[in-house]
Amino acid sequence: MLDFTEASLKRVLTRYNVALEKALTPEEAAEEIYPKDELIYPIAKAIFEGEEDDVIEGLQAAIDAGKDPIALIDDALMVGMGVVIRLYDEGVIFLPNVMMSADAMLEGIEYCKENSGAAPKTKGTIVCHVAEGDVHDIGKNIVTALLRANGYNVVDLGRDVPSEEVLAAVKKEKPLMLTGTALMTTTMYAFKDVNDKLLENGVKIPFVCGGGAVNQDFVSQFTLGIYGEEAADAPKIADAILAGTTDVAELREKFHKH
């Protein structure tokens, strides 16, 4: 069978992911940025490792030592998740690690709520949905996990959501932004319908759309549309809105890549 020599192979292709790999292992990189507090450290580490039982154990130890359960959400769980998100953004860890960490974080938040009875404060509410007629929701599930991991309260409307239902949820929740995902060109037309219904009702919030066959040109056609190419763009857009960039044109300028 034909084959390359080592030298000839290099003239045909380059595995840039190998060539550019970071020197630190994910564990080493995480270790460098964990909080040093002896009660918080094990919780943050357990979040990074996605170990739900260890998260609960760490939270219990911190509560026993006098920490306020609700304060632990921000001071321990979100700090641990911050380590995960930072390393994901830097390309040190991959999405499944984030998903497992997010599962552990959500379990931790529930535990804190149970032990306090109070409701935690979030960075803000975001409504997420999959376009009407579309039942493919893995993209939406990634978006909601990343938003929650970044401290947002997510109202997940699920898949195949009628425009009227999206409008009703937006009116009720008054979110920072709305997200819509679709796999197919034939269902992404529902985004325009949602956009029009929002405008008819005087609601002007950023409507971040992405997924499958959705593209920037299409999303730019409707007034509130902002294209999110990657699921990881969603929390970045939300952060920008929270920081005061609410104008659709400005958000497009900042986040449209093409």
Partner 1 sequence: MAAKRYTSMAYASADEMTFGVAKYPVKAGLGLEIGAGYTIPEVNYAPRPEAGASKEKLVREYERITTDIMERMVQVGFPAVILETEHVQQMSNNPSWGAEVAHAQKTIMEKYHDEYGIKCALRHTIGDIRENREFMQLRGDKYSVFLEAFEECAKAGADLLSVESMGGKEIFDYAILRNDIAGMLYAIGCLGSIDMEMVWTDISNIAKKTGTVSAGDTDCAQANTAMFIGGGLLNKNLAHTIAVLARAISAPRSLVAYESGAVGPGKDCGYENVIIKAITGMPMTTEGKTSTCAHSDVMGNLIMECCDCWSNESVEYHGEFGGTTVQCWAESLAYDCALMNTALETKNDKVLRDLLMLSDRYRDPQAYVLAYDNAYRVGQAIVKDGENIYLRAKNAAVECCNIVSEGAAGKLELSRFETNALADAKAALDALPDDMDKFMDDCLTKYKSEVKVFLPENYGL
Q: Which residues bind partner 1 (CB under 8 A)?
A: 1-4, 6, 9, 12-13, 15-18, 20-21, 25-26, 88, 91, 93-96, 99-100, 103, 133, 135, 137-138, 141-142, 145, 158-161, 184-189, 213
Q: Quick one: 75 or 137, whose CB is closer to partner 1?
A: 137
Q: Quick one: 35 or 133, whose CB is closer to partner 1?
A: 133
Taken in order 237, 241, 243, 248, the sign of the CA dihedral is positive
Centroid of chain to Cα 8: 42
**Torsion angle, CA of 233/163/129/207, rounded to 10 degrees?**
20
Q: CB of 93: closest distance to partner 1 in angstroms?
A: 7
Q: CB of 140: closest distance to partner 1 in angstroms?
A: 11
For 152, the token pair is 């947002």
Q: CB of 25: closest distance to partner 1 in angstroms?
A: 7
**Strand order across the 125-130 sheet:** 153-156, 125-130, 177-181, 207-210, 225-227
Q: Quick one: 27 or 247, whose CB is closer to partner 1?
A: 27
Q: Quick one: 75 or 156, whose CB is closer to partner 1?
A: 156
For 71, the token pair is 């304060």
Q: CB of 113: closest distance to partner 1 in angstroms?
A: 20
Q: CB of 161: closest distance to partner 1 in angstroms?
A: 8
CA distances from 75 to 42, 93, 246, 250, 254 (A): 12, 22, 28, 32, 30
For 226, the token pair is 């902002």
Q: Quick one: 20 or 243, whose CB is closer to partner 1?
A: 20
Identify whether the C-beta of residue 190 lies closer than 8 Å to the C-beta of residue 132.
yes
User: Hey, how many other C-beta atoms are within 10 angstroms of the C-beta on 55?
Assistant: 29
Q: Quick one: 56 or 251, whose CB is closer to partner 1?
A: 56
Q: CB of 17: closest distance to partner 1 in angstroms?
A: 4
For 76, the token pair is 């321990």
